[in-house]
Amino acid sequence: MLWQAIDVHRPTLKYQDRAWDFRTADTKEFTHCFHAYPAMMIPQIARELLRRYGQKGGWLLDPYCGTGTSLVEASLFGMHSVGCDINPLVRLIATSKLTSASLPAVDHNVRKLHIAMSGVKRTVPTSTVPDITNLTFWFADGVIARLAFLRSLIRSIKDSASRNFTWVAFSETVRESSYTRKGEFKLYRLPPQRLKNFNPDVFAIFSKKLNRNRQGLAHYLAARKEVKANVVGLDSTQAILPSSANAYDLVITSPPYGDSQTTVAYGQYSRLSAEWIGLPQARKIDRLAMGGRRTTQQPHNSSLTPAIAQIAAIDAKRAEQVTAFYVDLERSIDSVATCLSPRATVCYIVGNRRVKGITLPTDEFVVSAFATHGFAHKHTIVRSIPNKRMPAKNSPSNIVGNTATTMHRENIVVCQRE
């Protein structure tokens, strides 16, 4: 094993292991191919953690499940699972990725969509366009007509699994055919010089997504075990419903790196798709997510105090935003800990982000927060994040030309209740 000590005070507990980088791994196997999403956990991490700590027939919890990477891997491994996320679009994606749908039913409905698209020549049949803020700012007229046509077809599908399957392909089609910059998580419009030659083939994009996802679904259905999997729309700071076994045996999760307004803008990334599909609160996700609401509280964990104090000396408002995120993360950990089994293992994949040049020790924060609930720190594995998973740089100040290097490492924190 290739490893290198990182923390000189606890060299045996925190170390870098290059085997966990998975640089050449296929991260789009099974239904993991379904939909791009910011800062996704790669399936190989969940797979290896399940191999080490999973219990076949046991229960896995992912309190920030996103598009369901850990849940899919649990169903392939043989564990029941429950995932929570406040974003309805990713719940839709995760639910579709976990489905035990009838492949013939999916094929039948997809075939009808292909026939309908092939029947469109020059003029697209008129369809109802949903109420979308700044619609023509983000979409060309021809794109709007085609998306509305596809939307009407999908809404008419009676089989819920088939309908969810097609919504996922539609969601990616919305983003790829919009005027948004494809390399950004936040909503930024393409510059004028690129708009001149931007003429997406909506039907071709949609068909490509359907075909790709159908292959992934077929592989998944052939490999998944007969287990239960459920995705719920809970804020992770709320009480999480226990499994039927009354306790979860394993947590594998990757919480947000920070509040959505100043780090990865999950809500902005999903907004246009959510509005086209008609999902609730499409424009409020970033405010509802962790750290999205101001607070006068402080995290009890003292490992963050020096870093937050340094940020406050530079920018008091940013310090407040950072504080709000960690208050919510601590509350979430408190909620998670209450529904775990007496011998549970928790695996948190976190990044130690930098704010105003100050590194926030999120991995230490997670260890300390779980320690208050009787969990001992087993180890923290440090892995490199390939740039293809995260942009090499971002613009935290939103000032053109003012960029900063993003996180290039993340920490897999493993704690066990003693």
For the chain, which residues make up each domain, given as ranges? 3-66+81-86+231-269+283-395+404-417, 103-220
**pLDDT of 282:** 84
Mean per-residue pLDDT of the chain: 89
The single-letter code of the amino acid at 331 is R
Chain centre distance of CA 314: 31
Does the pLDDT value for residue 243 go beyond 80?
no
The two three-digit tokens of residue 323, written as one number: 């504080």
Nearest Cα residue to 407 out of 415, 396, 399: 396
**84 pairs with which residues across the strands?**
232
**pLDDT of 10:** 47
Does the pLDDT value for residue 242 go beyond 70?
no
How far is it, in rounded angstroms, from Cα 90 to Cα 168?
Answer: 9
Q: What is the DSSP string of 26-93?
A: -TT-GGGGS---TTPPPHHHHHHHHHHH--TT-EEEETT-TTTHHHHHHHHHT-EEEEE-S-HHHHHH
**pLDDT of 3:** 41
For 147-173, the pLDDT digits (tens) are: 999 999 999 999 999 999 999 999 999
For 177-213, the pLDDT digits (tens) are: 999 998 888 899 999 999 989 999 999 999 999 999 9
Dihedral angle sign, alpha carbons of residues 22, 28, 32, 33? positive
- Which of the four pLDDT bands, split at 50, 70 and 90, describes residue 303? confident
pTM for the predicted model, two decimal places: 0.90
How far is it, in rounded angstroms, from Cα 291 to Cα 357?
Answer: 20
Does the pLDDT value for residue 5 go beyond 80?
no
**pLDDT of 401:** 44
- Average pLDDT over every residue of 75-95: 96
Q: Does domain 3-66+81-86+231-269+283-395+404-417 have CATH number 3.40.50.150?
A: yes
- Average pLDDT over every residue of 215-244: 84
> Which secondary-structure segment (H or E) carries 344?
strand 340-350
- Which of the four pLDDT bands, split at 50, 70 and 90, describes residue 73? very high
Share of the chain above pLDDT 90, in %: 74
**Spatial CB neighbours of 281, under 8 Å, sequence gap ≥ 6:** 88, 288
